[in-house]
Amino acid sequence: MNTGVLTYESIKEWKEQNISTFKNDLIGLNSFHDQIMRKVLKVAIEKLNKGEPPCDFSWFVTGSGGRFEQGFISDQDHGMIYMEDSEECHLYFKALGEELADGLAFVGYPYCKGYIMSSNPLWCKSFQGWKEQLLAWMESESWGAIRYLQIFYDARVIEGEEPYIKQLKTVIYDYQLEHPKLLKRFLANIMHIKNIIGPLGQILVERYGTYQGCIDLKYSAFVPYVNAIRILAIKEGIYETSTLARISQLTQQKEYGQLLQNCEQNFELLLKYRLSLYKVNDYSDTHYLRIAGLEKEKKKQIKQILKTGVRIHDEVIELIEKGC
Amino acid sequence: MDATYLMNSLWTMVAAVLVILMIGGFILLEAGSTRMKNAGHVAGKTIFTFGLASLVFWALGYGLIFGGNANFFTGMTDFLYSGDQVKDAGLATTVFFVFQLAFAAISITIALGGFAERAKFSAYVVFTILFGILVYPVIAHWIWGGGWLAEHGKQDFAGSTVVHLTGAMAALAATIVLKPRIGKFNKDGSSNNIAGHNQVYTALAVLLLWVGWFGFNAGSTVSVEDGFFGFVALNTNLAAAAGAVAATLISWIVLGKPDIPTLLNGALAGLVAITASCAFVDVWASVVIGFIAGILTFYSARFLESRKIDDPIFAVSVHGIPGMWGTLSTGFFATKELATVGKPGLFYGGGLHQLGVQFTGVLVSGLYAFIISFLILWVMKKVMGGIRVTEEEEIMGLDISEHGSYGYPEQMVTQQKDTNVTASKTHVSS
């Protein structure tokens, strides 16, 4: 029942009623997710009952949400940057982060298994704290820290001050200019991709289980594109988060013309394929595309998408390894 | 006493021990390829059935295979073998008996692989007895006991057909009658991989079997004459090697990754295939025979799965299809010099004759083993009120349901506790 008062319940209801209208519209769907999250923030601040935020802040999403590539359902991935490095702010935003994670979970975004949520102190920091943390991550070069840095690079502001993220990403950009080894280190987390094209050029489908005969679009197709393009974006200091926007920025630079040939069309097609997999009332099968029943033409197209992904992934690795 | 007689006896006794140690290989193979909850059962029942099969072989099997007064199916003397020596034999008859007993035991062990993870213990008991009387001795008599296939010139040096194909056909019948394990196939027609719990066991099993196979094949010379057993051993090793390499390559090419279970099966398939032909073919041919067997086992496992036949420890795709191929292979590769039984193969000027003999042998033996095993199991199912454990027992595992104790007590008892906790929680919340 809509009483006009904004609550988690009413947001959830609104989400469920309207989400199916974005069946064929990825941009619309992602903007819709943004709207929901903003509403959740509003309710969270009210529920917290500690008044308005004590200083300027920036609430960001990362992961597929950050890249504007979110499907109908996905885990929450978000973090918080606040300007003042004071005890009052620490306490306020920590409590707000926790409320946000619970609120999002209520509305239908499952908790992030990797704890990339504003409720986690690692992902809820003052601007200064973030700066120090990013530097520490870059210096430590541990596998986990490198992973966090790449996740952070996909961050996009949902609500609050826009420039913070950009300034923090500049910290990464500047550091890697001075320490070219860092980019090589970034490769460590993205070297492995699921083997999807066999030696005879065949598509390697799932052998067992409910998805027998399918391919996992997320790991086999998206991951090579997204990871390779992200590394180039870090290298070139591109602040855009969506993979398509990154590609179009990169292709403006001559040196990537050859490398990124067919990349944009293929990635767009891939997004369309993935969206076509969603069934309105069943959110589970979202990443698996059945290959067996596919028309010949489509099979060919998929193969082309997969092959291009693997090629770009391999060539970017080679480029980074050579260039540093 | 004649030194050759003693040497032959000693060599064959060593070989018999090697073959009996293969039972250990099968314990590890089957336990490693199945789940923890059935490990104790698998290990225990394999020792038990070896014991039972030994008694059946002593009481009836040996006489049915090698006894006198033979009818079309079996011999009819020498039951309850007393240890008598046959006059003028090249080795001690007692040693020959133990060696043959080991072969019979291997065949039933292969057959019981088709029962894995879901048959009642009592089904193992009854089938071991009936297989040891009605199935194995008939085929062994036909080919090795002077029966019609022996007269026909069938080449099966150490038992690709007699031991492996016979066992595999019984396993096929069993897995069809028992139906797939719970959770193997989904309603939508897709299948699941029920992964074995220990690949290290499986790999050690393959090594143990590989070594044991020197007893199986080279020992089947039952003689040290001319050191011919060395040639047989050489062919045996190369076929196993080629099988392992071929299976690795084909899985790498088709699946994109070298698949460990396939690789291990490839070595075994090479061994199964060379079992018939090891004494009749040139060294290079044994490489070809093993290589083809490695490819065949990969595709036959996939074929069976696509037909919704659950072959839990690959009895059919490792012992069945490669057993057929190995027997047929002498029809192509048997050389003039080595074909002491039958005739040379197609590639050595023998024309299609030997291939025809081999084909007939495989067809008749395979069909006989399958049909009789199927009938035995079907009757057992009717008479024993089913030969499969209940769904609940299958889920809790045969260790506890059939024997009352676990092969891995620490792990399984903890798991059981967790299940109970979950169950009680479910009850509370519902």
| pLDDT of B425 strictly over 70 | no
Is the per-residue pLDDT at B25 higher than 80?
Answer: yes
**CB < 8 Å from B in window 195-214 of A:** 195-200, 202, 204, 207-213
- A2 belongs to a structural domain: no
Q: How many Å apart are CA B48 and CA B44, to the nearest integer?
A: 6
Distance of CA B38 to the CA centre of its chain: 20
CA B15, CA B9: separation in Å to the nearest integer? 10
Give the Cα separation of B398 and B383 in Å (integer).
22
**Residue B50, domain CATH:** 1.10.3430.10
Pair (B173, B275) in one structural domain: yes
pLDDT for the residue A234: 95
Rounded to the nearest angstrom, the gap between the alpha carbon of residue A251 and the centroid of all alpha carbons in its chain is 21
8 Å CB contact between B225 and B4: yes
The count of domains in chain B is 2
Same domain (yes/no): B305, B423: no
Specify whether A170 is located in the same domain as A195: no
Would A120 be classed as within a structural domain? yes
CB A120 within 8 A of CB A78: no
A206 to chain B: closest CA residue: B255
State CA A53 to chain mean position distance: 26
Beta A288-290 vs A214-216: how paired, if at all? antiparallel
Say yes or no: B192 contacts chain A, CB-CB below 8 A.
yes
Contacts of A144-148 spanning 24+ positions with Cβ under 8 A = A146/A185, A146/A186, A146/A188, A146/A189, A147/A189, A148/A122
- Contact A246/A260 with Cβ under 8 angstroms? no
Kindly write down the DSSP assignment for every residue of B338-350, as one continuous string.
Answer: T-SSS---GGGT-
Helices (H) and strands (E) in chain B, counts: 18, 0
Average pLDDT score over residue span B340-353 = 94
Residue A214: closest C-alpha in chain B: B190
pLDDT in tens, A260-292: 989 999 999 999 888 888 765 555 546 889 998
Helices A87-107 and A8-18 cross at an angle (nearest 10°) of 50
Query: Residue A318 in contact with residue A258, Cβ under 8 Å?
Result: no
Beta-carbon separation of A209 and B193 below 8 A: yes
**Residues A38 and A168 grouped into a single domain:** yes
Confidence of residue B429 (pLDDT cuts 50, 70, 90): very low
Range of the domain at B405: 391-429
Global ipTM: 0.75
In this prediction, residue A292 carries a pLDDT of 84
Do residues A292 and A202 both lie within one domain?
A: yes
pLDDT given for residue A20 in this prediction: 85
Q: What is the 3-state secondary structure (H, E, C) of B9-35?
A: HHHHHHHHHHHHHHHHHHHHHHHHCCC
Q: Is B293 in the same domain as B419?
A: no
What is the CATH number for A83? Answer: 3.30.460.10
CA distance B427 to chain A (A): 25
Last residue of a domain, one of A135, A154, A179: A179
Q: Which residue has the tokens 């035991």?
A: B105
| A164 assigned to some structural domain | yes
The reported pLDDT for the residue numbered B200 is 98
Radius of gyration of chain A (CA): 20
Residue A259 CA, chain-centre distance (Å), reads 23
Per cent of chain A over pLDDT 90 is 75
Quick one: B332 and B420 in the same domain?
A: no
CA A110 and chain centroid, separation: 15
Q: Contact at 8 Å (CB) between A130 and A102? A: no
**Chain B environment of A211 (Cβ under 8 Å):** 190
**Phi, psi values for residue B365, rounded to 5°:** -65, -45
| Alpha-carbon distance A211 to nearest alpha carbon in chain B (angstroms) | 8
- Does residue A206 lie in a domain region? yes
Q: B353-383 and B136-144 are packed helices; what angle lies between their axes, rounded to 10 degrees?
A: 160
Confidence of residue B427 (pLDDT cuts 50, 70, 90): very low
Question: Residue A193 corresponds to which tokens in the numbers above?
Answer: 């991709």
Give yes or no: residues A36 and A134 share one domain.
Answer: yes
pLDDT at A317: 93
Residues 6+ apart with CB under 8 A from A65: A30, A33, A74, A77, A78, A156
- Residue to test with chain B: of A208, A211, A219, most B Cβ within 10 A: A208
**Helices within B145-193 (DSSP H only):** 148-152, 166-178
pLDDT the model gives residue B426: 44
Domain final residue, candidates A137, A160, A179: A179
Q: Are the beta carbons of B190 and A213 separated by less than 8 Å?
A: yes
- A147-187 tens-digit pLDDT: 999 999 999 999 999 899 999 999 999 999 999 899 999 99
> Are residues A92 and A170 both part of a single domain?
yes
Of A197, A200, A208, the CB nearest to B253: A200
Cβ of B186 and A195 within 8 Å? no
Range of the domain at A115: 8-179
Q: How far is A161 from chain B (nearest CA, A)?
A: 45
Residues A237 and A270 in one domain: yes
How many whole angstroms separate alpha carbon B371 and alpha carbon B363? Answer: 12
| Measured distance CA(B30)–CA(B111) in Å, rounded | 12
Total number of domains constituting chain A: 2
Say if residues B387 and B177 touch (Cβ distance below 8 Å). Answer: yes
Among candidate residues B24, B33, B26, the one with its CA nearest the CA of residue B117: B33
B252 close contact with A: CB closer than 8 A: yes
Q: What is the pLDDT of residue B423?
A: 47
Final residue before a domain boundary, out of A157, A179, A201: A179
Residues A258 and A285 in one domain: yes
The Cα–Cα gap between A107 and B105 comes to 64
Given the structure tokens 């290990």, which residue do they identify? B43
Same domain, A79 and A33: yes
pLDDT tens digits for range B264-323: 999 999 999 999 999 999 999 999 999 999 999 999 999 999 999 999 999 999 999 999
In a domain, A3, yes or no: no
Residue type, B18: L
Size of interface A-B (CB pairs under 8 A): 34
The DSSP code for B84 is P
pLDDT for B430 beyond 70: no
Q: Does B187 touch chain A (CB under 8 A)?
A: no
- The minimum CA-CA distance between A68 and chain B, rounded to whole Å, is 32
- What would you report as the CA-atom Rg of chain B, rounded to the nearest whole angstrom? 22
CA pair distance A166, B345, nearest whole angstrom: 78
Average pLDDT over residues B85-97: 96
Q: What is the mean pLDDT of residues B114-141?
A: 98
B80: left (phi over 0), alpha (psi -120 to 50) or beta: left
Q: Where are the beta strands (DSSP E) in chain A?
A: 57-61, 78-82, 124-126, 156-160, 214-216, 288-290
Same domain, yes or no: A126 and A264: no
Q: What is the DSSP letter of B316?
A: I
The model's pLDDT over A86-110, given as tens digits with 9 standing for 90+, comes to 999 999 999 999 999 999 999 999 9
Cβ of B256 and A208 within 8 Å?
no
Q: Tell me the C-alpha distance between B213 and B222, whole Å.
A: 14
* B358 and B300 belong to one structural domain: yes
- Condensed to tens digits (0 to 9), the pLDDT of residues B348-400 reads 999 999 999 999 999 999 999 999 999 999 999 999 999 999 999 999 999 99
B183: which chain A residues are within 8 Å (Cβ-Cβ)?
none
Clarify whether residues B418 and B297 are in a common domain: no
Cβ atoms of A229 and A250 within 8 Å: the answer is yes
- For residue A305, being part of any structural domain is answered with yes
Mark whether A175 and A191 lie in a shared domain.
no
Give the pLDDT score at B23: 98
CA distance A101 to A118: 7
DSSP-derived secondary structure for B394-420: HHH-HIIIIISS-SSHHHHHHHHHHHH
Residues A293, A315, single domain; the answer is yes
The whole-angstrom separation of Cα A246 and Cα A232 is 9
- Among chain B residues, the shortest Cα distance to A194 is held by B256
- The whole-number average pLDDT for the span B44-54 is 98
pLDDT of residue B135 exceeding 80, the answer is yes
Q: Could you tell me the CA-to-CA distances from B236 to A311, B160, B189, B271, B282 in Å, in that order?
A: 44, 12, 40, 6, 11
Q: Helix, strand or coil for residue B192?
A: coil
Q: Same structural domain for residues A318 and A235?
A: yes
Mean pLDDT estimate for chain B: 95
Question: In the predicted model, is pLDDT for residue A78 greater than 60?
Answer: yes
- Do B410 and B326 lie in one domain? The reply is no
Q: Is B185 helix (H, G, I), strand (E, B) or coil?
A: strand
If one counts every other C-beta atom within 10 angstroms of the C-beta of residue A12, the result is 16
Is residue A74 included in any domain, yes or no? yes
pLDDT(A1) > 80: no
Q: What angle do CA A298, A299, A304 make, to 5 degrees?
A: 95
**Any domain includes A306:** yes
Q: List, for residues B241-270, the tens digit of each pLDDT value.
A: 999 999 999 999 999 999 999 999 999 999
Q: Are A14 and A65 in contact (CB under 8 A)?
A: no
